[in-house]
Amino acid sequence: MNSFTVRSWALALSLIGLALTAYKAYELGLPLTPRQNTEVWTLQAQVSFEGTGAPAKLSLFIPENTPGFMLLDEDFISSRYGLTIAKDHDNRRADWAIRRAKGDQTLYYRISVARSNLKDDWKSKPDFPAAPDYPEPYASAIQAVIEDVREESADVESYTQELLKQLNSSEPNENVELIRDQASSPGLWANEIINVLKGVRIPARTIWGIDVTDAANDAQLRPLLQVHNGDNWLTFNPETGSKGIPTNLIVWKVGDRQITELEGGNDLAIKFSVTRTYAELIDVARQGAAARDSFFSGFSLLSLPVQNQNVYQLLLMLPLGALLVVFLRTLIGLQTFGTFMPILIAMAFRETQLFWGVIMFSMIVSIGLMIRFYLEKLMLLLIPRLASVLVIVVILMLLISLITNQLGIERLLSISLFPMVILAMTIERMSIIWEENGAREAILQGVGSLFVACLGYVVMTNENLMYLIFVFPELLLVVLGLCLWMGSYTGYRLVELVRFKDMQGKNIK
Amino acid sequence: MRFFSTPRELRQRGVLGMNQRNVDFIMRYNPRKLYPLVDNKLETKRVALENGIAVPELYGVVEIEHQIQDIESILADHRSLVIKPAHGSGGNGILVINGRMGNYFRKANGSLLAIKAIQHHASNILSGMYSLGGVPDKAILEYRVDFDPMFEHISYQGVPDIRIIVFKGIPTAAMIRLPTRDSDGKANLHQGAVGLGVHLTTGETTWAVHRNNIVDQHPDTGYKTTGIEIPHWDSILRLATQCADKVGLGYLGVDIVIDRKLGPLMLELNARPGLNIQLATGHGLLSNLLKIEAHPDLPTELDARLDFAKGLHQSEDTSVV
């Protein structure tokens, strides 16, 4: 019963931890390994106009909802202009204003985006449009097309698809040709289709985006057609009829209002450019965390200030070290000085590197031990003796630092990060075990502790683990689950298989 | 022989592992609030005396640094005595004074100590050097057991003691721990003492282990260790069982010594008895523990329980052969 409860807890905690990790990895797109590179696209809109010396107001639609990409960074470069950002239905609009604009004026807007599996998020629900009064001869042509399409469709989606197929047919009939003649640009063509859809009272609109396949200095907005099926906006290419938002398109604005509008100036011009850079996925995730609306990203460690992040990066490795100790002690049966002492030593090794760390640890402990044996002869009280050992440990560390500084081995200067109190306690315990149980037992436990410290160092400095636990701290629940599980483990320890091996010998006799 | 056994082989032999001992027996049958009764040897002695259980006589207790001076006068009254920490574990911190030579006192191994060294030892005990967790402790001065002559040939210095495991009021396993030169007169197996299995039914010694090797003679004296009949065996079992009844711990290790004149004395109790007894007896503890645990109505009367225990071991023998 007891062990069943423990195991249920262990299982539940582990599953919750893994589920959260999976959600973040696959739904939010956080990478599972560090140092994965990803493309970051930077899009820049350059708006320029000629000021007249009068007050000027300039508005620019800017991306709000970019399915397939996440917004990493956003810049407005508009030195003397006042800037407000307004939500406008499914759009976002930057409004710049200045009291006096004279001569050439240039403003920039820049965003960085990276691929993600962000879904679209258009919330607006359109009304059903009124069927327009088409002028003849278009009225009969449109009517004929509408009738043709209706026979081959069942709902809004299939209707739109069939309509686009017929209107874009390579062998158009005369009705279609008549409609096509109206449109001279992709934007006008999309509007023409919307006009036809109004005849069957399907709400439709255009969205405009920029292709990011290569770096470009004069990228163009291109239109896509969207129809509303009562629940969602469905996107179609007005020229090919293919469904969905192309994977390389970054949606910039919704609707066919002018992308930029100006009050109080002349010669308004806009130019888009696209550049591509590569960045580490984790940095992208770090930047994206702030920009995202997800419940989890708000609680992410990536949203902490950087110096706090560094502290947590270290602290989060402690549970892994503890897990290692639990494993080595309950499943293997290794003996160490103090339960978590090897883990604290391992933390110190992070700074000194393994090789020098082991050498210095052995050096301090053996010299300290020798002095401790002499202190024993002086017959001191316990606490003053412990304090003396502590002072001696500090002096030893000081000496090592000074000597290695003279020798120019800079790495050894970080010895100051060794946990002094822990070292002093280790020396004390080791000397007692030496006296009570003999040198063999003391050295065995000392080497055991050092071995665990080395293993701890290997685990706690593993970059993949550091990354995983930092980006997915919910894995701590899995660590907790494993600790609980091992806490109720009643099987044999590995060393017991050796310790009790003679038991079977007697059986055979 | 192979270097290790498989877990399956150990389970077939009924070997109890450390993890299972902790989770299934100590945590389940030993309520934590009873631990002070056995962890504090003064408490153990008090409970024993209240219930008429024979223990070595208490000469004095050193509770504060100042009282260390009193050791000298106690030593004047008693030629030999034992100084040990009230909260010691694993036989650590025990000092045995055998006799006196002028101003010096003789340790069990024959070396001589000045009174100052003895007082320093007591001071170390007070500051918690030997206690669990290093908390301040008390030093106990008590009667040094003059062990039964039958042990003379099979022990080197130190005092051999008998360890009996009592589970739910039923004695389940027994061994004698013989100090050796190797163990510096201490009776701990991992310090090099010999573990000598005792047949629970007959009180006869079986085989012995020394540092994981099976032996049939004492490594220092060379005397044969098998087939020795332990005197007072029934009263030893009775004593161990009474101790378990009085302290109320379900899984208990009882350490008993046999004094030349006083007979069996309870030396100390252990709420976390080690697993080495399995090596000494050559029998896993688990099979009998499980049998006792699963038994629907264990006898309650003391003699019936001892008979039950002996019965368990009789059947164990037939199952082995």
Token pair belonging to A73: 């960074």
* Closest Cβ–Cβ partner in A379, A436, A502 for B212: A502
Chain A: which residues have CB within 8 Å of chain B? Answer: 3, 330, 333, 379, 381-383, 432, 436-438, 441, 488-493, 496-507
Query: Which chain B residues contact residue A490 at CB under 8 A?
Result: 17, 19-20, 23-24
Residue B320 in domain: no
- What does the pLDDT average to over A41-48? 90
Model confidence at A291, in pLDDT bands (50, 70, 90)?
A: low
Q: Does B17 touch chain A (CB under 8 A)?
A: yes
A201 CB-side CA count, 13 A: 5
Task: Assess whether B109 and B204 both reside in one domain.
Answer: no
- Return the pLDDT at B321: 32
Residue B123 in domain: yes
* Closest Cβ–Cβ partner in A379, A490, A493 for B23: A490
Q: What is the pLDDT of residues B119-177, one digit of tens each?
A: 999 998 998 888 766 678 999 999 998 888 888 888 877 778 899 999 999 999 999 99
Give the DSSP H or E segment for B70. Answer: helix B70-77
Considering chain B, what percentage of its residues have pLDDT values greater than 70? 96
- Provide the 10 A C-beta neighbour count for residue B48: 21
- C-alpha span between A342 and A458 (Å, rounded): 12
Q: Does B109 touch chain A (CB under 8 A)?
A: no
Query: Which chain A residues contact residue B20 at CB under 8 A?
Result: 490-492
Which stretch, A239-243, A311-315, A409-413, B242-246, has highest mean pLDDT?
B242-246
pTM of the model: 0.69
- Return the pLDDT at A296: 56
- Domain, as residue range, for B308: 7-52+148-314
- C-alpha span between A131 and A168 (Å, rounded): 22
Task: Assess whether B110 and B253 both reside in one domain.
Answer: no
Question: What is the tally of structural domains in chain B?
Answer: 2
Token pair belonging to A122: 């258009």
Shortest distance between the Cα of B297 and any Cα of chain A, in A, equals 22
Give the DSSP H or E segment for A235. Answer: strand A233-236
- Return the pLDDT at B317: 53
Say if the Cβ atoms of A502 and B123 lie within 8 Å.
no
- Return the pLDDT at B320: 42
Shortest distance between the Cα of A5 and any Cα of chain B, in A, equals 14
User: Which of B96, B119, B142 is the C-terminal boundary of a domain?
Assistant: B142
- What does the pLDDT average to over A145-154? 82
Helical pair A475-487 and A317-326, crossing angle rounded to 10 deg? 20
Is residue B209 over pLDDT 70? yes
- Between residues A454 and A378, which one has the greater pLDDT? A454
Query: Which chain A residues contact residue B18 at CB under 8 A?
Result: 333, 493, 496
Task: Decide: helix, strand or coil at residue B184.
Answer: coil
* Closest Cβ–Cβ partner in A382, A437, A493 for B18: A493
- Return the pLDDT at B319: 42
User: Which residues, 6+ apart, have CB-to-CB distance to A440 below 8 Å?
Assistant: none
Task: Assess whether B77 and B44 both reside in one domain.
Answer: no
Q: Does B7 touch chain A (CB under 8 A)?
A: yes
Task: Assess whether B119 and B239 both reside in one domain.
Answer: no
Considering chain B, what percentage of its residues have pLDDT values greater than 90? 42
- What does the pLDDT average to over B58-68? 90
Task: Assess whether B251 and B295 both reside in one domain.
Answer: yes
- What residues pair up with B264 in beta bridges, in sequence order? B258
Best residue in A337, A379, A500 for a mutation probing chain B (most B CBs within 10 Å): A500
Task: Assess whether B227 and B306 both reside in one domain.
Answer: yes
Residue B195 in domain: yes
Q: List strand residue ranges (DSSP E) for chain B, in order.
A: 58-62, 81-85, 95-101, 104-107, 112-113, 139-143, 161-167, 170-178, 194-198, 205-210, 213-215, 251-259, 263-270
- What does the pLDDT average to over A441-460? 90
Q: What is the pLDDT of residues B242-275, one digit of tens each?
A: 999 999 999 999 999 999 999 999 999 999 998 8
Say if the Cβ atoms of A382 and B207 lie within 8 Å.
no
Is residue B16 over pLDDT 50? yes
Say if the Cβ atoms of B13 and A383 lie within 8 Å.
no
Omega of the bond leading into A137 within 30 degrees of 0 (cis): yes
Give backbone dihedrals phi and psi of A410, rounded to 5 degrees, phi first: -65, -30
User: Which residues, 6+ apart, have CB-to-CB distance to A418 below 8 Å?
Assistant: A345, A348, A352, A360, A361, A364, A397
Q: Determine the residue of chain B that is closest to A498 in CA distance.
A: B4
- Return the pLDDT at A181: 77
Task: Assess whether B177 and B62 both reside in one domain.
Answer: no
Say if the Cβ atoms of B13 and A501 lie within 8 Å.
no
Q: What is the pLDDT of residues A363-392, one digit of tens each?
A: 889 999 999 889 888 877 778 888 999 999
* Closest Cβ–Cβ partner in B2, B209, B282 for A501: B2
- C-alpha span between B161 and B280 (Å, rounded): 13
- Return the pLDDT at A103: 86
How far from B115 is each of A73, A140, A256, A388, CA to CA, in Å?
80, 125, 104, 25
Q: Does B226 touch chain A (CB under 8 A)?
A: no
- Between residues B9 and A416, which one has the greater pLDDT? B9
Q: What is the pLDDT of residues B190-202, one digit of tens each?
A: 778 889 999 999 9
Task: Assess whether B75 and B99 both reside in one domain.
Answer: yes
- C-alpha span between A498 and B11 (Å, rounded): 14
- Return the pLDDT at A428: 85
Model confidence at A403, in pLDDT bands (50, 70, 90)?
A: confident
Is residue A505 over pLDDT 50? no
CATH number, domain at B19? Answer: 3.30.470.20
Query: Which chain B residues contact residue A500 at CB under 8 A?
Result: 5, 10, 13, 15, 278-279, 284
Residue B31 in domain: yes
- Is B200:B206 a contact under the CB 8 Å cutoff? no
Shortest distance between the Cα of A323 and any Cα of chain B, in A, equals 16
- What does the pLDDT average to over B76-102? 86
Nearest to A479 by CA among A366, A327, A349, A368: A327
> How many angstroms separate the first and last alpha carbons of chain A?
39
- C-alpha span between B179 and B156 (Å, rounded): 5
Mean pLDDT estimate for chain B: 87
- Cα-to-chain-centroid distance, residue A11: 27
- Provide the 10 A C-beta neighbour count for residue A92: 17
Token pair belonging to A466: 């550091």
Residue B1 in domain: no
* Closest Cβ–Cβ partner in B24, B214, B279 for A500: B279
Q: Determine the residue of chain B that is closest to A495 in CA distance.
A: B4
Q: Does B15 touch chain A (CB under 8 A)?
A: yes
Task: Assess whether B212 and B302 both reside in one domain.
Answer: yes
Model confidence at B316, in pLDDT bands (50, 70, 90)?
A: low
Is residue A430 over pLDDT 80? yes
Considering chain A, what percentage of its residues have pLDDT values greater than 90? 18
Is residue A299 over pLDDT 70? no
* Closest Cβ–Cβ partner in B128, B190, B320 for A507: B320
Give Rg (Cα) of chain A. 35
Task: Assess whether B133 and B213 both reside in one domain.
Answer: no
Which stretch, A18-27, A193-202, A212-221, B171-180, has highest mean pLDDT?
B171-180
Model confidence at A177, in pLDDT bands (50, 70, 90)?
A: confident
Q: List strand residue ranges (DSSP E) for A237-346, in order.
A: 249-254, 260-263, 265-280
Residue B137 in domain: yes
Torsion, CA A49, CA A55, CA A57, CA A58, rounded to 10: 20
- Return the pLDDT at B107: 86
Q: Determine the residue of chain B that is closest to A379 in CA distance.
A: B120
Say if the Cβ atoms of B129 and A503 lie within 8 Å.
no
Best residue in B3, B18, B21, B126 for a mutation probing chain A (most A CBs within 10 Å): B18
How far from A213 is each of A208, A250, A279, CA to CA, in Å?
16, 11, 17
User: Which of B112, B142, B172 is the C-terminal boundary of a domain?
Assistant: B142
Is residue B178 over pLDDT 60? yes
Task: Assess whether B119 and B197 both reside in one domain.
Answer: no
Is residue A509 over pLDDT 50? no
Say if the Cβ atoms of A379 and B10 lie within 8 Å.
no
- Return the pLDDT at A25: 80
Say if the Cβ atoms of A490 and B20 lie within 8 Å.
yes
Task: Assess whether B183 and B35 both reside in one domain.
Answer: yes
- Return the pLDDT at B257: 92
Shortest distance between the Cα of B261 and any Cα of chain A, in A, equals 31
Q: Does B311 touch chain A (CB under 8 A)?
A: no
Residue B183 in domain: yes
Burial state string for A393-406 with b = 16 or more CB within 10 A and e = fewer than 16? beebbeebeeebee
Residue B297 in domain: yes
User: Which of B113, B142, B171 is the C-terminal boundary of a domain?
Assistant: B142
